Structures are given as C-alpha cells and as structure tokens.
Amino acid sequence: MSACSELLDHEIRLLDSDEKLNLCELTGKSILVVNVASRCGYTNQYTELQRLYETYSEKGFIVLGVPSRDFYQEFRDDSKVSEFCSTEYGVTFPMLTTSKVKGSKALPFFKKLAEASGMEPNWNFNKYLISKDGLTVEGFRSKVKPSSEELTYKITTDLNS
C-alpha cells in the first residue's frame, strides 16, 4: 500500500458505533465524501450515492457519508440517522459519526477537504472526490447529482488512471 497522505491521516468513528475507520486504509481508492442530512430537499441523493457505490466499489471506489447538523436538517440521535439511511435508502456504504463540516469547529478531515478543494460546505450534500493517491480533491456543490455526467466522468477517469 502507498504511504498515507496527510489528507487521509485521520481516524473517525463510524455512525452509531464504537468502531473507528482509519482513512489511511482507503489509500488507493477513489473516495467520494458527502456531508449528508436526513431531512433535506437533497436527501433523495442517497439513492444515487448508493447506486454509484454499488456500480464502482469493485473497481476501487467508496462513498463516505458524513451526517451533519450544521444546516439543522439532521436527526439529533445517531441511531435514528443510521436506521433512516438503511431502511429508507438501503445505504450500505460507510457512514461516519455526525460531525460539524464547516467553520472553526469542523471535523479536521473536513477542514482539510475544504482547504484542498477551495470549497467549504454551504449546504447538505456537498461532495468531495479524493483521488486514488489521496492528494487531489475536487469539490461539487449540492445541486451536482451523484449520477451527473460531470461527477461520474471524474470518478471513472480517476479509477482508470
């Protein structure tokens, strides 16, 4: 495995669990990180995120969902978020613990994503595509659908590089 990039050098607790995910373990994968919420106009993007994950996971792609209450549209209880995602949308990609994603109290991983992409989340379902080498981050706003040609092109280009 390649050396872990500074961007991925984080350990973050999984949603509704005591287990932690060491992001260094994802080195070599194309990673789509999304700040998500259960009660948002964009919540239906879970369906497309799950489809992307199922389509490309065997090729080295992963989606990471990061629930956030920064925009006041997420349940207060992590177990309710977890249940909602699995029962309403059949989410099987990793979901990290509910975290702040903007401002001075943002999760350090999100601070690095914002710095590397030049884009801090301004709403739910902002997306960050991290290249396989863990060095390049491209940001996409909420309105860019997971199935959009723009995003799927970037994913497949990185997977094939």
Active site residues: 40
User: CA-based angle 21:26:28, to the nearest 5?
Assistant: 175
Q: Which of 69, 63, 85, 26 is nearest to 147 (CA)?
A: 63
Beta-carbon contacts of 37 under 8 Å, excluding residues fewer than 6 positions away, are 43, 67, 68, 69, 71, 73, 74, 124, 125
Return the sign of the alpha-carbon dihedral for residues 46, 143, 63, 21.
negative
